[in-house]
Amino acid sequence: MIYTTYYNSPVGKILLASKDNKLIGLWIEGQKYYLGKLKEKILEKDDEMIFTKTKKWLDKYFDRKKPKISELDLAPIGSEFAQNVWKILCEIPYGKVTTYGEIAKKVAKIMNKNKMSSQAVGGAVGHNPISIIIPCHRVVGSNGNLTGYAGGIDKKIKLLEHENVDMHNLYIPTKGTAI
């Protein structure tokens, strides 16, 4: 059984999902891949312990208190490749950004490959089922392109500005979403 609840945030209404009292999903209303690949029965239940912890974590985050990801029991559902990408996302410091290319190099090393496609990394980043907490908004194109946020570029910008990221070398793509 998967349980859900809602959280009202400065970037919009957020749906939280849990299974076995672990957080498996966090989606901003209206984002791509909303509810991800969840196929089990879903029941709204506000009093799960993980939801209480997650809402406190989000309160701290939106209050600029920089909570640690390790405070939460996360269990995102995805392939080994995606899990490796999401683990790397968790290492991006608050207020900093990295590129799809840099993540590709790290994933290649973890998976004992010579190289890894930035586009493949972009796919895993885009399908991150626990956005904000697993900070996919901190990933940009190598040239500063703010592409690829499933929650929308406007929300990505809002989150980066919230974290006081230096936005001078970042820009909104004028056409397409190439990485």
Residues with a known catalytic role? 136
In this structure, the strands spanning 98-99 and 139-140 are parallel
27, 33 contact by CB (below 8 A): yes
State how far the alpha carbon of 87 is from the alpha carbons of 37, 124, 166, 175, in Å.
19, 11, 24, 30
**3 state SS of 164:** coil
77, 24 contact by CB (below 8 A): yes
Dihedral of the CA atoms 73, 78, 79, 84 (nearest 10)? -50
* Nearest residue to 135 (alpha-carbon basis) of 49, 44, 69, 43: 69
173's tokens? 């793509």
* Nearest residue to 103 (alpha-carbon basis) of 113, 95, 117: 117
Residue 73 neighbours by CB distance under 10 Å? 14
